[in-house]
Chains A and B, each alone.
Chain A
Amino acid sequence: MAITEVERRRGQLAALSIAAVVIIVGVPLWWRTTETYRAWLPVSQIKDLAKLQLHLSADVEVVFARGTVTPEQQKKVPLTQTQDEEHTVDEDTTLRYRYETKYRTATIMEEDAMKKPTAAEADLSLHMLSESPCGSLVVYVIPESSSLLPEDVNVYIGQRRTALVRISAQMRVGKTLEQLLAQLEPQIKQVLQVMSFSHTDITVALSDRVRFRPGNKESIADSMRAFKSSPGYEITFSLLNPDPKSHQLHWDIEGAVQTYIQPLLTKLSPLANFSMDSQTLYYTMLGVTPRFDSSFEAYTLNADSLAHVINPVEARLGSNAASSNPVLNFLLYVPDIRHSPLYIHDHRKQEVPSNAFHSPRWGGIMVYNVNGFYGSETEFPVHVNINMAKVMGVFLAQLRLLLGVQSLSPPPGFLVAPCGSTGLADWELDRLMWSRSVENIATATTTITSLAQLLDQIGNIVINDNIAQQVSSAVTSLQLAMAELEVGNLGFALQYSKEAILASEKAFFDPSLLHLLYFPDDQKFAIYIPLFLPMCVPILLSMLKIVSEARQRRREKQAKKE
Chain B
Amino acid sequence: MAAHRCSCWSWLLILFSLSVFVVADIHETTPVNDHHGGVDHNAQTAEQTADQPAVEERRWEATEVKEAATVDAAADIQGTSAPETVVPSSVPQPKDDFQEELVIRPLHSGDIYASFQFRTLWDTDFMRENKVSHYRLFPKSLGQVISKFSVRELHISFTQGYWRTMQWGQPFIPSPPGAELWVWFQDSVTDVDATWKELTNVLSGIFCASLNFIDSTNTVQPSASFKPLGLGNVTDHSFLRYATLPREIVCTENLTPWKKLLPCGSKVNVPPFTCAFFFLKKRGTSMPSVSVLSFLLTMFSEQAGLAVLLKSEKLFHSSFHSQAVHIRSVCQDWQCKTTSWELRQTLNSVFDLHNSGQTKREWSLFKMFSRTLTEACPLASSSKLYIDITDNPQGEQFELSPATSLLSQAVVLGDRRTFSVYDLTQETTFGTVRSLNLLIRWKSNEGEMLRPLLHAERYVAGYGLQTGEIHTLMYNNHPYRSFPVLLLDSVPWYLRLYIHTLSVTSKGKDNKPSYIHYEPSKDRVKPHLLEMLIQLPPNSVTEVTVQFERALLKWTEYPPDPNHGFYVGSSVISSLVPSTVAMHTNSTRERPLFSSFFPCKEESSYFVRIYTEPLLVNLPTPDFSMPYNVICLTCTVVAVGYGSLYNLLTRSFQIEEPNPGLAKRIANVIRRMRGVPPL
Contacts and interface: CB of A to CB of B under 8 A. Distances in A.
Interface centre among B139, B148, B302 (most CB of A within 10 A): B302
Contacts of B46: 303, 347
B81 interface: yes
A224 interface: yes
A397 B63 contact: yes
Given A315-B267, A387-B19, A530-B631, A278 B134 contact: yes
A316 B141 CA distance: 11
A304 B650 contact: no
A556 interface: no
Nearest to B64: A397
Interface stretch (A59-67, A172-180, A246-254): A246-254
Interface in A223-255: 224-225, 236, 242, 244-245, 248, 250, 253-255
Contacts of B61: 225, 357-360
Contact of A321 (B55, B144, B303, B639): B144
B125 to A, nearest CB: 15
A384 B87 CA distance: 6
Given A354-B65, A362-B58, A542 B650 contact: yes
B267 A312 contact: yes
Interface in B193-247: 202, 205-206
Nearest to A531: B635
Contact of B650 (A15, A346, A352, A533): A15
Interface residues of B, number: 93
Contacts of A366: 63
A354 B21 contact: yes
A285 B541 CA distance: 57
Given A221-B47, A277-B135, A373 B653 contact: no
Contacts, number: 275
A322 B126 CA distance: 14
A355 B144 CA distance: 31
Interface string A300-324: 0001101110101001101111100
A561 interface: no
Contact of B84 (A260, A354, A362, A386): A386
Given A221-B59, A253-B134, A11 B638 contact: no
B632 interface: yes
Contacts of A248: 87, 91
Contacts of B47: 217, 221
B134 A344 contact: no
B261 to A, nearest CB: 9
Interface centre among A236, A370, A383 (most CB of B within 10 A): A383
B564 interface: no
B635 A389 contact: no
B66 interface: yes
Given A387-B83, A396-B73, A354 B134 contact: no
Contacts of A310: 58
A194 B244 CA distance: 61
Given A354-B21, A381-B378, A390-B20, A538 B84 contact: no
A259 interface: yes
Nearest to B301: A283
Nearest to B66: A397
B622 to A, nearest CB: 18
Interface string A329-347: 0000000000000001011
Interface centre among A4, A254, A353 (most CB of B within 10 A): A353
A538 B46 CA distance: 77
A285 B269 contact: yes
B23 interface: yes
A356 B140 contact: no
Given A245-B304, A347-B42, A387 B84 contact: yes
A393 B73 contact: yes
Interface string B122-142: 000000000001111101111
Nearest to A387: B84
B414 to A, nearest CB: 38
A551 interface: no
B264 interface: yes
Nearest to B68: A418
Contacts of B510: none
B140 A318 contact: yes
A1 B22 CA distance: 116
A282 B638 contact: no
A376 interface: no
B427 interface: no
A291 B497 CA distance: 69
A94 interface: no
A135 B176 CA distance: 62
B68 A419 contact: yes
A354 B83 contact: no
Contact of A320 (B26, B144, B266, B642): B144
Contacts of B561: none
A86 interface: no
A20 interface: no
Contact of B266 (A255, A282, A531): A282
B60 A357 contact: yes
A366 B68 CA distance: 19
Contact of B148 (A322, A347, A385): A322
B266 A396 contact: no
B308 to A, nearest CB: 11
Contacts of B649: 11, 14-15, 18
B676 interface: no
B267 A397 contact: no
B441 interface: no
B49 interface: yes
Nearest to A350: B29
B42 A358 contact: no
Nearest to A303: B60
Contact of A400 (B69, B267, B303, B636): B69
A530 B58 contact: no
B72 A420 contact: yes
Contacts of B640: 534
B85 A385 contact: yes
Contacts of B49: 304
A276 B72 contact: no
Nearest to B645: A18
Interface centre among B60, B142, B649 (most CB of A within 10 A): B60
B560 to A, nearest CB: 19
Nearest to B51: A217
B103 interface: no
Contact of B72 (A221, A284, A383, A423): A423
Contacts of B19: 387, 389-390
B607 interface: no
B557 to A, nearest CB: 16
A537 to B, nearest CB: 9
A234 to B, nearest CB: 10
Contacts of B136: 279-280
Contact of A278 (B56, B86, B133): B133
Interface centre among A248, A283, A381, A527 (most CB of B within 10 A): A283
A12 B650 contact: yes
Interface string B1-44: 00000000000000010011111001001100000000000100
A8 interface: yes
Contacts of B137: 280
Contact of A307 (B56, B91, B638): B56
A283 B302 contact: yes
Interface in B74-113: 74-77, 80-88, 91-92
A398 interface: yes
Interface string A396-411: 1110110000010000
17 contacts: A244-B378, A245-B378, A250-B91, A278-B134, A304-B49, A307-B60, A315-B267, A348-B42, A354-B62, A360-B59, A384-B86, A385-B87, A387-B19, A389-B77, A394-B21, A421-B72, A534-B643
Given A14-B650, A360-B58, 5 more contacts: A354-B64, A389-B74, A397-B66, A418-B72, A423-B72
In order of increasing CB-CB distance, the 6 nearest A-B pairs are: A534-B639, A393-B70, A7-B652, A277-B133, A383-B87, A530-B635
